[in-house]
Amino acid sequence: MSDTIELAKELIRQPSVTPDDKDCQKILKDRLSKINFKNETLEFEDVTNLWSLKGDDDPIFCFAGHTDVVPSGPLNEWKSDPFKPEIRDGLLFGRGAADMKGSIAAMITATERFISNHPNHTGSLAFLITSDEEGIAKNGTRKVIDVLEERNRKIKWCLVGEPSSTDKVGDTIKNGRRGSFGSKLIIYGIQGHVAYPHLAENPIHLVIPALQDLLSEHWDNGNDHFPSTTFQISNIHGGTGATNVIPGQIEVDFNLRYSTEITHQEIEEKVKKILDKYHFKYKIKWNLSGLPFLTDEGELVKAAQKSIKELTGTNTKLSTGGGTSDGRFIAPTGAQVLELGPINASIHRVNENVSVYDLNLLSDIYEKILENLLNPKH
């Protein structure tokens, strides 16, 4: 069994449901200290973060990832204990196998081999690991980046190990993500009896035309890298539970995933204009959880494409689809950011798994990327 698989299994054994790291980062620090990384634990409230650095020279290449996992879900639907890794039919099963303890293991072993083979490499190597990615992501990578910015430590290249691949490892890499802008909208009416609607004001009826306008709004046309902005209602809460009472208020949660063709300020203005058209009383609270970012086809993207082509023969596809990642906190510093990891078909599901072959291949790809960027003789 390879070092990559053994380390992945060791990490999966830690029931690190967000934001609890358990001992994952201790395991990583033990490995990294042996290859002369300086480990720094950064704790914010209940979140544990690791910033580990080898070298003092620019440019800094950083592997970024998260040790936290989502809850296992119904245990009776798992074929094996989610925190007791098992290999069956060439697949490693366990919570976090694909998202993203397998990637972290591949990053570590790739770095170990690279340093052993290229002790005089250029630049510096770093790891930014958090236990707060699957949760609210308030005290994880976001806070570590704040600390690094205060120190004026700039990451030039950052590879995030999120499961980006679709059908085979390396077929898709994420070189950007859409922004995420969410809202909680409260519409106020007047509670009353359904038999006397003239004495009440139904907030559900009031908001329906406005919601229809928001659903049909054309936000932008997207561009070559991003699809057009989308609007989705995620939750509606209203009513007393009784069928004969007109509610006094209703809450509507919605989210926009937006491209670089529009700003969150412009979205906010458009929404306000639509709501104000209907003259009902409301309150709205916005939450900007991530700005859109895009890494152009520069050194990092080219190094990844070249490495994947050399090792797999695949011409990788660049994508900005899917949800958000911690790359959204790193990219605004000026870093080139991309996401490259295993196949994402089983993430967050029961019986999460990753191919043993794929994890070993991923480690080789990571090592090749380091060679393409930091080995002066390559």
Active site residues: 68, 133
Q: Which residue has the tokens 């359904």?
A: 194
Give the chain's radius of gyration (CA, Å). 23
Cβ 111 vs Cβ 55: under 8 Å? no
Helix (H) or strand (E) segment spanning residue 114: helix 102-117
Cβ 96 vs Cβ 83: under 8 Å? no
Quick one: residue 173, left, alpha or beta (phi over 0 = left, psi -120 to 50 = alpha)?
Answer: beta
Cβ 318 vs Cβ 137: under 8 Å? no
Q: Could you tell me which of 371, 363, 369, 311 has the C-alpha nearest to residue 102?
A: 363
DSSP codes of every residue in 37-48: -EEEEEEETTEE
Where b means 16+ CB within 10 Å and e means fewer, 191-214 reads ebeeeeeeebbbbbebbeebbeeb
